Amino acid sequence: MRARYWILLSVVCIVAVVLNSSVLRADDVLPNEWTHKKVKAGVYADAPFAIPDPEMEWKGYSVDLLAKIASRVNLEVEYVRYETLPELYAAIGRGDVEIGVGNILVTSRGVESLEFTQPIMDGGFRIMVSGERAHSLGRLWRGLVKGGHIQLLGLGAFLAVVASLGVLLFLRLFDPQFTRHWRDGWAESFYHVMSVIMTGKTSYAGNLGKGWLGKVIAALWLCFGVATVAYVTSSVASVMTANTLTGDISGPGDLPGRTVGVIEGSPAVRYMSNHGAVSVLYKNLDDAVVDLVSHKLDAIVSDSSSLEYYDLLHPEMNVIEVGALFERRHFAFAVGTRSAEIRQRLNIGVLLVRESGVLDHIQSQWFAR
């Protein structure tokens, strides 16, 4: 009986030792256990994650973090630039590069040829809109032009000038008391025409106004004036109402039916297509912001870090970020499915820099706390 007890105790001890030896912390895996390896990293320029400088070096949150990781897991990184995220993802899938660096959000759809490392930062979407007030004169003017009202009002002004000339000639012919000076006559005619248009009545008290013809003309002008005032009032009111609706974007619930700019290849493309917005694709954030401030877009949806960093660096651009974070996701490095060893090294490296506090230090350098 005692022999069985000791045998069982020995087995338990052996199993415990084996299990304990198989559980390794990140710092138990030493960099010198891996041979030195050169890798290519495809990089998509998007501040503050990856920023090229004039000397064609790279800096940014993801670049700085990868440099710290690479030094710990015995990797030597060579960067290759790609203009869009789809181009970068395709290069990783083909095996042209082993690592994807930049503004890369972890997603489970659309990038089947990719895998992702341990998260390097939390993030999510946010909305950028124009900083103009909803009822600014500029927005009112653009609304009138877009609706075709300015063209009609311009035609009405032209007709008012022509009508003033017609009234001038008419009164000079049929009203002997009307002034004989052309300049004064046109000014008085124009005043009477505008008075009838805006108020439906005039202060003209000449001989012509006392006959039946004068009353008929006055009645016609009255109808025309009332119609003109009603049209101008309704046009301005409708445009101001539309500006209020399109200018009041405060969250994702206000985006359906709007024209929204998104970065090509980003998860925001799929999100907007599933939520009823009209998406316009851009290769970079700079082009999207230009169209936003020129009122070709109602909003831009992208990750909050990129939007906030852009706003910080470009105070001259009249844009603001509105609403809280939505569709929270994680940032990571992308790795090809055939680069299992590289992914393992990067995962260990992420854990090492996180445990040592290096990750938090780099993050504090690039993002406001």
DSSP assignment of 274-339 equals TTT-EEEEESSHHHHHHHHHTTS-SEEEEEHHHHHHHHHH-TTS-EEEEEEEEEEEEE--EEETT-
Do residues 228 and 146 share a domain? Answer: yes
- The token pair at 213 is 């013809």
Counting the structural domains of the chain, the total is 3
Helices marked H in 133-181 — which ranges? 137-146, 149-174
**Measured on CA atoms in the order 154, 155, 157, 158, is the torsion positive or negative?**
positive
Q: What is the CA radius of gyration of the chain?
A: 35
Instruction: Quote the domain boundaries for residue 115.
Output: 32-120+332-366
3-state secondary structure at position 76: strand
The list of the chain residues with pLDDT below 50 reads 5-6, 11-12, 15-29, 134-135, 245-246, 369
CA dihedral over 226, 230, 233, 235, signed as positive or negative: negative
Look at residue 42 in the predicted model and tell me its pLDDT: 94
Q: Which tokens hold the place of 349? A: 């490296």
**Same domain, yes or no, for 69 and 101?**
yes
> Angle at Cα 244 formed by Cα 232 and Cα 130, nearest 5°?
115
Q: Are residues 168 and 92 in the same domain?
A: no
If asked whether residues 256 and 293 sit together in one domain, one would say: yes
Residues 242 and 253 in one domain: no
Domain assignment present for residue 171? The answer is yes
- Based on the fold, state whether residues 115 and 147 are members of the same structural domain: no
Say if CB 139 and CB 129 are below 8 A apart.
no
Q: Is residue 94 part of a domain?
A: yes
Q: Do 156 and 115 reside in the same domain of the chain?
A: no
Q: What is the pLDDT of residue 23?
A: 41
153 shares its domain with 170: yes
Question: Alpha-carbon distance 199 to 229, whole Å?
Answer: 8
Judge whether 26 lies within some domain.
no
Tell me the DSSP string of 9-52.
HHHHHHHHHHHHHH---GGGS-GGGS--EEEEEEEE-BTTTBEE
Model pLDDT, residue 18: 45
Q: Is residue 8 part of a domain?
A: no
Contact 39, 329 (CB under 8 A): no
Q: Are residues 165 and 86 in the same domain?
A: no
> Which pLDDT score, from 0 to 100, does residue 78 have?
93
Question: What single-letter amino acid sits at 349?
Answer: G
d(CA 207, CA 176): 8
Bond into 252 cis (ω within 30): no
Among 226, 247, 268, where does a domain finish? 247
Would you say the pTM of this structure is higher than 0.75?
A: no
Residue 6 lies in a domain: no
- Residue 304 near residue 275, CB atoms below 8 Å: no
Q: What is the pLDDT of residues 247-284, one digit of tens each?
A: 568 788 888 888 999 998 888 888 888 888 889 999 88
CATH number of the CATH domain containing 41 = 3.40.190.10
In a domain, 23, yes or no: no
